[in-house]
């Protein structure tokens, strides 16, 4: 049982790390601000979500697990809103690079 | 073990290169962003050194609050930059030499430590149970080195006075010129309505838990200040004019209570800043609670900047 949980953790965290890698490549390679934002939000949602999901079986009790989930939710919230604000600023002031 | 040392090595390389990039980039804005990233990486490094208290403070003050102050400064400097006024070569050379000397001195202290490293840590840990505190950092801050902590809070007020004294005479006592993004029903408004209840709870928790676990007045106060600023920037709350009595009361209540308890030490324990036996912990928690409010108000007003307009009659 423990081994299965450990394998699950390694698999989920690795997949999450893969998303972070893909998002970073997108941030560097994509041509303009809006597509770069698109790459970043995918990382926030899926990458961090998978890392948190993978760490849940290793969490020290229910409260630690809840803390992990709330970190994910808070990052989701801030990520989504900051993306909206930056995209709004790009639309208003024109695209620069 | 080896994976962790790989991680540490990567962290060191990242910190050094982001530190170098703050110096190399030409634009002040880019340098400030790099500085914020540098603060966050430094916080991770402190976690790796098991100094969670320092990591929290570095993330909150070094990354967040200082970053916001520097962004404000960079925005003001943009005007000066566009007129082509740059610091002269001799000044820049002198800055580089002095910074290099400080770095070399710090590096020498770390790389060539004395044979026996002087430490008070065992004595501090031995006497910690007498204070009733569980967090040795809080013990050092509020029991062994209470005078330093008191002066540190007063310095924060002096810094705020320095910012306020930049105001021209006609707007003295006016409202800080923090830019407000007054777009009703924007996503920022949504964030400013949703986040502060959570943030205030986390701030109070940080202050409360500081006696037992990592946390404390500075970390809690920074979060409270951030929530206040968020509400002001989103236009949900108006920045107070700096002559408001409640604001001034809030700013001094922490250091005042600290000072009163410190002076009372003469009466009940025969020394300045000494606590009566058995009452150390409740007194320290009371001081921390008041300090959290004062630090929150002071940091918020520091970030809001000097007063720029007077209240319309």
Q: List, as ranges, residues 191-220 from B with C-beta within 8 Å of A.
A: 191, 194-195, 198
**Same domain, residue pair B131 and B266:** yes
Mutation site for A-interface testing, chosen from B33, B184, B187, B235 by largest number of A Cβ within 10 Å: B187
- Domain final position from B85, B106, B140: B85
Within chain B, which residues score under 50 in pLDDT?
313
**Same domain, residue pair B135 and B17:** no
Across the interface, do B191 and A77 touch by the CB < 8 Å criterion?
yes
Across the interface, do A84 and B198 touch by the CB < 8 Å criterion?
no
Domain encompassing residue B23: 6-85
**Same domain, residue pair B282 and B184:** yes
**Same domain, residue pair B40 and B133:** no
**Same domain, residue pair B194 and B297:** yes
**Same domain, residue pair B168 and B58:** no
- Alpha-carbon distance values, B160 to B68, B69, B155, B256, B290 (Å): 15, 12, 9, 16, 18
Identify the pLDDT of residue B3: 83
Identify the pLDDT of residue B313: 46
Identify the pLDDT of residue A97: 45
> Which residues on chain B are in Cβ contact (under 8 Å) with A84?
187
Identify the pLDDT of residue B1: 61
The candidate with the shortest Cα–Cα distance to B188, out of A59, A4, A87, is A87
Give me B66's structure tokens.
Answer: 């200082």
* C-beta separation of B279 from B130 below 8 A: no
B307-309 and B175-176: which strand pairing? antiparallel
Identify the pLDDT of residue A95: 55
What digits encode the pLDDT tens for the residues B226-256? 999 988 888 888 888 888 899 999 999 989 9
Q: Where are the domains of chain A?
A: 2-93
What digits encode the pLDDT tens for the residues B117-126? 778 888 878 8
Closest partner CB to A77 (pick from B186, B188, B194): B194
Is residue B31, in this structure, part of any structural domain at all?
yes
**Same domain, residue pair B172 and B78:** no
**Same domain, residue pair B66 and B152:** no
**Same domain, residue pair B189 and B252:** yes
Give the total number of structural domains in chain B: 2
Identify the pLDDT of residue B43: 94
Whether B17 contacts chain A with CB within 8 A: no
Question: What pTM was estimated for this model as a whole?
Answer: 0.85
Distance CA A24, CA A29 (A): 9
**Same domain, residue pair B48 and B168:** no
Is residue B67, in this structure, part of any structural domain at all?
yes
**3-state DSSP call for residue A30?**
coil
- The whole-number average pLDDT for the span A39-62 is 87
The candidate with the shortest Cα–Cα distance to B184, out of B230, B235, B238, is B235
**Same domain, residue pair B258 and B162:** yes
**Same domain, residue pair B288 and B155:** yes
**3-state DSSP call for residue A70?**
helix
Identify the pLDDT of residue B309: 80
Identify the pLDDT of residue B17: 94
Contacts of B138 (CB under 8 A, 6+ apart): B210, B211, B216, B284, B288
Q: What is the mean pLDDT of chain A?
A: 86
Nearest CA in chain A to B234: A85
Is residue B91, in this structure, part of any structural domain at all?
no
């Amino acid at each position: 049982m423990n081994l299965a949980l450990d394998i699950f953790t390694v698999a989920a965290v690795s997949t999450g790390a893969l998303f972070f890698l893909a998002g970073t490549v997108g941030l560097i390679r994509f041509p303009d601000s809006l597509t770069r934002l698109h790459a970043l939000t995918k990382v926030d949602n899926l990458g961090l979500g998978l890392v948190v999901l993978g760490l849940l079986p290793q969490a020290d009790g229910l409260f630690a697990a809840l803390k992990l989930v709330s970190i994910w939710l808070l990052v989701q919230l801030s990520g989504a809103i900051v993306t909206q604000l930056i995209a709004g600023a790009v639309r208003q002031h024109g695209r620069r690079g | 073990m080896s994976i962790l040392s790989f991680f540490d090595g990567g962290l060191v390389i990242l910190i050094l290169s982001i530190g170098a990039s703050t110096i190399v980039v030409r634009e002040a804005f880019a340098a400030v962003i790099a500085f914020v990233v540098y603060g966050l990486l430094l916080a991770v490094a402190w976690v790796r050194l098991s100094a969670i208290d320092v990591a929290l403070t570095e993330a909150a003050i070094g990354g967040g609050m200082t970053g916001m102050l520097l962004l404000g400064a960079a925005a003001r400097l943009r005007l000066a930059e566009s007129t082509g006024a740059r610091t002269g070569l001799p000044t820049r050379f002198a800055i580089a030499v002095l910074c290099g000397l400080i770095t070399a001195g710090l590096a020498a202290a770390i790389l060539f430590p004395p044979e026996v490293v002087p430490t008070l840590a065992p004595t501090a840990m031995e006497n910690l149970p007498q204070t009733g505190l569980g967090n040795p950092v809080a013990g050092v801050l509020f029991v062994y080195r209470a005078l330093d902590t008191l002066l540190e809070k007063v310095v924060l007020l002096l810094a705020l006075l320095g910012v306020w004294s930049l105001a021209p005479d006609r707007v003295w006592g006016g409202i800080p010129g923090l830019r407000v993004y007054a777009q009703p029903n924007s996503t920022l408004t949504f964030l400013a309505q949703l986040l502060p209840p959570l943030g205030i709870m986390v701030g109070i928790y940080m202050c409360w838990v500081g006696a037992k676990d990592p946390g404390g007045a500075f970390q809690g106060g920074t979060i409270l200040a951030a929530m206040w600023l968020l509400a002001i920037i989103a236009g949900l709350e108006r920045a107070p004019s700096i002559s408001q009595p409640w604001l001034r009361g809030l700013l001094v209540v922490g250091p005042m209570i600290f000072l009163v308890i410190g002076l009372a030490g003469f009466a009940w324990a025969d020394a300045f800043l000494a606590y009566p036996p058995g009452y150390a912990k409740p007194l320290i928690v009371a001081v921390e609670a008041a300090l959290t409010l004062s630090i929150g108000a002071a940091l918020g007003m520091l970030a809001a900047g000097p007063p720029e307009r007077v209240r319309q009659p």
